[in-house]
Structure 1
Amino acid sequence: MVGTAIQLYTLREMDATLPELIARVGETAFDGVEFAGLGDADPDEVADALDDAGLDAAGAHVGLDDLEADPAGVAETYRRLGCETLVVPYLDETHFDSEAAAVETAERLAALAADLDAEGARLAYHNHDHEFVDVGDRAGFDAFLDAADVNVELDIGWVVAAGRDPTALLDRLAGRAPLVHVKDVRDGRPVELGEGELPVEECVRAARDAGTEWLVYEHDDPADPERSLERGAELLAGFGD
């Protein structure tokens, strides 16, 4: 079964509290949400909002420093929301700009994944495009993938922006890509889904074949977040089970 969700970062410019945003997502065809932090929201109120909206928590973006500082506490906070997948949303280019750096990054995340696993949570890493810089005869991201069995929330839009084939990468990541960010790009910049270079249907098929559990819609800078929410839900509705 593959669910569809929206990364709530997409809706950050909407004038609404987190529970209100969840309620609005619940009016669409999305099955869930992915958190970009909780801000000052009460986790119990957020959990109630999810229940009221009939939505699941696909995952949550949490900074690496916060995860390493208190893996048990972070895992417990998100467990209250029914969220077991915690995603490191960004690491800068210095973590991937050499073979040694990429390997060190992979080993660091693998150690954190083991700590979170002991707390009943799962770790993944969300890529951008800078991870694909060449570090010899391969990209830093390839060295990262080979160094440790770390899960990836593959952002296929940034993969396209980096000039790589997202379907081939999904095939390589079979069993390691529980969440996939469905983002469209044109000339390296995010655009509305279906208006860019992303082969959406081919990528969805590849994600299914790779064992992906959630297709997560994201637009980094939508001109109209409300319309982007509606459009993303409409286009992905036919791909969820």
Structure 2
Amino acid sequence: MYVAQLPIALQMFTLREETKEDFVGTLKKVKELGYDGVEFAGFGGLEAAELKGILEDIDLKPFSSHVGIELLEKDAEEIIAYHKELGVETIVIPYLVPERRASKEDYLKLAESLNHYGEKVKEAGMQLCYHNHDFEFEKYDGEYGLDIIFSNTNPEYVQVELDTFWAEFAGVSAVDYMDKYKGRLPLAHIKDMVTTPKKTFAEVGEGVLDIKAITSAAEEAGAKRLIVEQDVCQRPPLESVEISIGNLKRILGR
């Protein structure tokens, strides 16, 4: 599949305030702006069957979902069942609290947990991924924390959702890093960055990152979905995600 044809999803964390006010209405707006699907960060208190019906009516795909590792460890069976019923393809671990990332041993323990739950997710017909921030690019015995995770997990059970912004924020080439995990990277977060007066988030195509090179590298690595996210917006978030989808489609030649 050529990168110009890869489906584009929105990580709904970007619209967290909007979904608090009107969860279903916000999903409808996401579809109207031209997104093919979403990556969830919560489900608005809806049952899986109800939300599945809403998404089918809107024609918006539930590609993936961010779920904290602690939630998965506490109630894996229920969480996996919900996602399976909803039709989610990929469950993603989005973040590590500081006390779970203070040492190499912490990352090794995490890898063991990810392997365990990744196997359960796989058995249910879905895929588990891990999503990075910048702190995983600290080195322990000469190895990035992120690489400790991936070198100590089964690629069949634990795959890569690279957040390209956070890699670049940490001084790591997102293009090179995606190439390193070619064949193990089904999802990529496509974000942009401004560097003055300090490094922070920008709408896709409005910053300094080479979005064309990054999306091409994602496609080369085997990504099936491109996911737009903006952790913090300087404009109204709906305006920001509209700018991002418009610019991204232009960059991809759509």
Deviations for 1:6-30, whole angstroms, at most 9, x for unmatched residues?
0011111226422111111111221
Displacement, 1:98? 2.8
What's the TM-score, normalizing by structure 1?
A: 0.92
* Structure showing greater relative contact order (alpha-carbon pairs closer than 8 Å, 6 or more residues apart): 1
1:123 correspondence with 2:144:
no
Distance in 2, matches of 1:120 and 1:204, equals: 27
Superposed, 1:55-204 pairs within 5 Å as 55-148=60-153, 149=155, 150-186=158-194, 187-204=198-215
Please list every run of at least 4 consecutive aligned residues from structure 1 whose deviation after the TM superposition is greater than 3 angstroms. Answer: 93-97, 238-241
Deviations 1:119-154 (A, max 9, x none): 222111111001111223232222222222321211
| TM-score, scaled relative to structure 2 | 0.88
**1:40 aligned partner:** 45
Letter paired with 2:26: L
135-144 or 113-122, which moves further after superposition? 135-144
Mark the CA change 1:127 to 1:215 in structure 2 (over 3 Å): closer, same or farther.
same
2:248 to 232, 236, 241: 236
- 1:240, distance to aligned residue in structure 2 (A): 8.9
Give the letter aligned to residue 165 of structure 2: G
- CA root-mean-square deviation: 1.9
Unmatched 5+ stretches in structure 2: none
What is the aligned-residue identity percentage? Answer: 34
Q: 2:238 pairs with 200, 203, 226, which one?
A: 226
Number of paired residues? 241
For 1:9, the equivalent position in structure 2 comes to: 13
Distance, in Å, in 1 between the alignment partners of 2:253 and 2:179 is 19
Equivalent residues in 2 for 1:14-29 (5 A)?
14=18, 16-29=21-34
Task: Answer yes or no: is the 8 Å Cα contact 1:4–1:236 preserved in 2.
Answer: no
5+ unaligned residues in a row in structure 1: which ranges? none
Q: In structure 2, what is the Cα distance between the partners aligned to 1:240 and 1:78?
A: 33
Is the 1:160–1:197 contact (alpha carbons within 8 Å) kept by the matching residues of 2?
no
CA 1:136–1:196: 2 relative to 1, 3 Å: farther
Q: Distance in 1 between matches of 2:83 and 2:247?
A: 28
The equivalent of 2:58 in structure 1 is 53
Q: How many angstroms does 1:161 deviate by? A: 0.4
How far is the alpha carbon of 1:209 from its aligned partner? 0.5
The 3-state SS of whatever aligns with 2:183 is coil
Counterpart position of 2:226: 215
